[in-house]
């Protein structure tokens, strides 16, 4: 059963079920199973920890269940959809969406009209370094930079503590219970 309830627009972000989600697939038990993305709608993908580093980030920033966030600028590569992420291994870079197959996550989508802004900022920060506490751009900073200004000005005051995937997710109203498996994400992102 496909659920695509529209409760209204807040800051240009489609709000569904109290969070900033577009649509989701539910099973008979009501558990969310997979992402369904609209064509041409950029956004942010909050992901559960998949490594010791991610679990450490989650634990140090409130244990809300998110250890990483990536930007969806609606770019396609030779291997399918690309996301923008930043980590200690490569700084800000593009990665195939397939890297996140099978992970738990939550999606925030912006309006189609935000696509030029998100793409422009994403292009501008590519190859920026990540040096942890010493500087550079970490994943939550990259996500916040790619958030359209009219949305960012409403989100920034809601960020509590140090900027992290957890604090950013909470500012957007994304809760741990909205996580679902990122299954077939490559196909969902094709357009």
If one compares 164 and 25, the residue with the highest pLDDT of the two is 164
Helices 165-172 and 52-60: angle between axes, nearest 10 degrees = 60
Options 3.90.1720, 1.10.10, 3.40.50, 3.30.70; CATH of 2-186: 3.90.1720
List the alpha helices (DSSP H) in 34-174: 52-60, 115-125, 139-145, 149-155, 165-172
The model's confidence at residue 132, banded by pLDDT at 50, 70 and 90, is low
Q: What is the DSSP string of 10-44?
A: ETTEEEBTTBS--EEEE-TT--EEEEE--TT--EE
Q: What is the mean pLDDT of residues 35-62?
A: 77
> Among 72, 63, 95, which residue's Cα sits nearest to residue 20?
72
- Over residues 102-118, mean pLDDT: 88
Backbone angles phi, psi at 120, to 5 degrees: -60, -45
């Amino acid at each position: 059963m496909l659920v695509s309830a529209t409760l209204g627009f807040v800051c240009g972000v489609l709000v569904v079920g109290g969070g900033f989600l577009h649509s989701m697939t539910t099973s008979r038990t009501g558990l969310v199973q997979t992402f369904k993305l609209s064509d041409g709608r950029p956004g942010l993908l909050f992901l559960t920890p998949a490594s010791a580093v991610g679990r450490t980030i989650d634990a140090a920033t409130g244990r809300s269940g998110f250890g990483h966030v990536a930007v969806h600028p609606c770019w396609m590569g030779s291997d399918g959809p690309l996301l923008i992420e930043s980590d200690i291994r490569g700084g800000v870079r593009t990665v195939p969406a397939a890297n996140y197959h099978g992970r738990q996550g939550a999606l925030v989508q912006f309006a189609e009209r935000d696509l030029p802004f998100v793409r422009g900022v994403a292009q501008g920060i590519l190859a920026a370094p990540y040096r942890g506490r010493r500087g550079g751009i970490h994943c939550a900073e990259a996500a916040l930079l790619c958030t359209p200004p009219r949305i960012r000005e409403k989100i920034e005051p809601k960020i509590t503590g140090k900027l992290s995937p957890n604090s950013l997710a909470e500012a957007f109203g994304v809760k741990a219970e909205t996580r679902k498996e990122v299954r077939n994400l490559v196909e969902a992102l094709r357009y």
